[in-house]
């Protein structure tokens, strides 16, 4: 009997690189987290640079009452001339006396607050006591020194885990922020399968008490939640390992792992997932024509690289040349690695110059990379896809499977149109 594992990427050696990185910091994740948690406020304790990053990442969205802001550390704070803790207390007082809608306040660390070693955990503890029970104050870091952009969500959710109630009852917790419409699709399928109760972390409001304990099982919808994973396991919850729910196969495998955990029969499973799976397969088939037999190269950016490489190779007929990821967390991405055929170079971390040399030598048909690298690579004749778009676009589960394939086929289509026009 051949050892099938040898033929997948599971046992492939990993090239580990440490050097200059080209990624956004964890503050970026506030943009999608504040939309998800309707009664939360994210107060970044940082500099004017941090405020600018947030404003430009938020783009044109102007809120009458925004749910994120920056407590600016002035030069005097940075020089240690004033007590930044007192300043922070005053800022929080001003905010909470004006905004009774805030039920969860996140104090978000940044590079400047890390550099001056401002202890935000102490501040969160002090302020939590002061404003309990109406407001819960939690701290996490989004500093570019410590986090890449999707790690901001991981830090945030991991910081919430110790605040969750203890519960002995059997339940499923689904971990990862998803757009509401996608979360509804997921809940609907789980409910048709007869699986419940289901809680989602993060919940849309602080009132939706999520509890956790030895009988909790959890499934992740985002592969960048390594700290949250450890925090949940630390509270006694059991992880359900599965490929991530991208595409028809990934989504089926994700639901199947949960269904097996809850003892759902094969017949029931097939009757529920059969129709949406067939729709997804048709949509992928259509959208992925142009991707068949093409090559793809992933720079490390969103941490979605391994599951997406699995989708592109196993469901869209692409060949991966290199799959770069900022961190390779096997308990989370192992099931996807098992489904990627041996062949591509797996790399973890980044030394951007060396990696650019490899990308330019290999000239993949499609290069998935961060914003900063896309233009220079396009100028060298490569087709690129911005990795950050994959985090901001709904791509999970069956109904989005065709759109996900479409996100990758569009740059190739655009380039072939440009070539045709140039030839005419
Ligand atoms: Fe820049 Fe650091 Fe602020 Fe992020 S946290 S915007 S990397 S200064």
12-63 pLDDT per residue, tens: 999 999 887 767 899 999 989 998 999 999 999 999 999 988 888 766 455 5
**Measured from the CB, is residue 104 less than 6 Å from ligand 1?**
no
**Measured from the CB, is residue 47 less than 6 Å from ligand 1?**
yes
CA atoms within 13 A on the CB side of 352: 12
Ligand 1 centroid – CA 361 distance (Å):
33
What's the mean pLDDT when you consider all of the chain?
92
**Measured from the CB, is residue 222 less than 6 Å from ligand 1?**
no
* Statement: the pTM of the whole predicted model exceeds 0.95: no
For the CA of 46, the nearest atom of ligand 1: 3
Probe residue for ligand 1, chosen from 49, 68, 72 as the CB with the greatest number of ligand atoms within 8 Å: 49
* Cα separation, 243 vs 249, whole angstroms: 9
Ligand 1 centroid – CA 129 distance (Å):
29
Q: What's the distance, Cα to Cα, between the start and end of the chain in Å?
A: 55
Please give the sequence-ordered ranges of beta strands (E in DSSP) within 156-240, or none if there are none: 165-166, 171-175, 198-201, 211-212, 216-220, 238-239
Query: Is the preceding omega at residue 229 within 30 degrees of 0, hence cis?
Result: no
Closest Cα to atom 8, ligand 1: which residue?
Answer: 111
Number of H helices, E strands in the chain: 17, 16
How does pLDDT run across 263-280, given as a tens digit for each residue?
999 999 999 999 999 999
Ligand 1 centroid – CA 332 distance (Å):
27
How does pLDDT run across 210-229, given as a tens digit for each residue?
999 999 999 999 999 999 99
Contacts of 348 (CB under 8 A, 6+ apart): 14, 15, 16, 17, 300, 324, 325, 326, 327, 328
Closest Cα to atom 3, ligand 1: which residue?
Answer: 50
**Measured from the CB, is residue 143 less than 6 Å from ligand 1?**
yes
Ligand 1 centroid – CA 145 distance (Å):
8
How does pLDDT run across 87-132, given as a tens digit for each residue?
899 999 999 999 999 999 999 999 999 888 889 999 999 999 999 9
Helix or strand (DSSP H, E) at 70: strand 68-72
Q: Give the per-residue pLDDT at 172.
A: 97
Q: Give the per-residue pLDDT at 57.
A: 73
Q: How many CB atoms lie within 10 A of CB 37?
A: 21
pLDDT category at 2 given cuts 50, 70, 90 is very low
Q: Give the per-residue pLDDT at 77.
A: 67
Closest Cα to atom 7, ligand 1: which residue?
Answer: 144
Q: How many CB atoms lie within 10 A of CB 208?
A: 11
Q: Give the per-residue pLDDT at 3.
A: 46
**Measured from the CB, is residue 49 less than 6 Å from ligand 1?**
yes
* Cα separation, 255 vs 248, whole angstroms: 11
* Cα separation, 366 vs 395, whole angstroms: 18
Cα-Cα-Cα-Cα torsion 126, 128, 129, 132, nearest 10 degrees, comes to 160
Please give, one letter per residue, the 3-state secondary structure of 134-175: CCEEEEEECCCCCCCCCHHHHHHHHHHHHHCEECCCCEEEEE
**Measured from the CB, is residue 111 less than 6 Å from ligand 1?**
yes
Q: How many CB atoms lie within 10 A of CB 49?
A: 15
Ligand 1 centroid – CA 48 distance (Å):
9
For residues 198 and 225, the answer to whether their CB atoms sit within 8 Å is no
């Amino acid at each position: 009997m051949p050892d099938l594992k040898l033929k997948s990427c599971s046992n492939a050696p990993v090239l580990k690189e440490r050097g200059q990185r080209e990624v956004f910091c964890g503050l970026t994740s506030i943009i999608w987290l504040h939309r998800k948690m309707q009664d939360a406020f994210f107060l970044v304790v940082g500099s004017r640079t941090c405020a600018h990053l947030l404003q430009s990442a938020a783009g044109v969205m102007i809120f009458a009452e925004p749910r994120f802001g920056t407590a600016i550390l002035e030069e005097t704070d940075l020089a240690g001339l004033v007590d930044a803790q007192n300043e922070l207390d005053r800022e929080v007082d001003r905010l909470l006396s004006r905004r009774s809608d805030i039920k969860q306040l996140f104090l978000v660390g940044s590079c400047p607050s890390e550099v001056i070693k401002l202890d935000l955990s102490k501040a969160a503890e002090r302020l939590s006591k002061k404003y309990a029970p109406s407001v819960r104050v939690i701290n996490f870091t989004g500093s570019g020194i410590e986090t890449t952009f999707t790690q901001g969500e991981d830090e945030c959710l991991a910081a919430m885990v110790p605040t969750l109630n203890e519960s002995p009852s059997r339940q499923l917790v689904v971990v990862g922020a998803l757009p509401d419409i996608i979360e509804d699709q997921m809940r609907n399928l789980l409910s048709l399968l007869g699986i419940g109760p289901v809680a989602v972390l993060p919940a849309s409001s602080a009132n939706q008490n999520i509890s956790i304990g030895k009988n909790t099982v959890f499934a992740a919808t985002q592969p960048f939640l390594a700290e949250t994973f450890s925090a949940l396991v630390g509270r006694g919850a059991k992880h359900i390992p599965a490929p991530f729910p991208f595409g028809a196969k990934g989504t089926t495998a994700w639901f199947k792992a949960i269904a097996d955990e809850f003892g759902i029969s094969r017949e029931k499973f097939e009757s529920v997932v059969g129709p949406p799976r067939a729709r997804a397969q048709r949509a992928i088939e259509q959208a992925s024509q142009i991707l068949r037999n093409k090559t793809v190269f992933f720079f490390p950016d969103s941490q979605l690289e391994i599951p997406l490489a699995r989708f592109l190779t196993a469901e869209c007929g692409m060949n991966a040349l290199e799959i770069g990821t900022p961190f390779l967390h096997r308990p989370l991405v192992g099931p996807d690695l098992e489904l990627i055929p041996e062949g591509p170079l797996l790399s973890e971390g980044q030394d951007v110059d060396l990696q650019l040399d490899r990308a330019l030598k290999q000239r993949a048909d499609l290069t998935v990379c961060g914003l900063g690298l896309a233009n220079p690579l396009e100028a060298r004749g490569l087709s690129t896809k911005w990795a950050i778009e994959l985090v901001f676009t709904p791509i999970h589960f069956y109904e989005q499977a065709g759109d996900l394939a479409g996100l990758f086929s569009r740059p190739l289509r655009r380039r072939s149109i440009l070539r045709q026009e140039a030839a005419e």
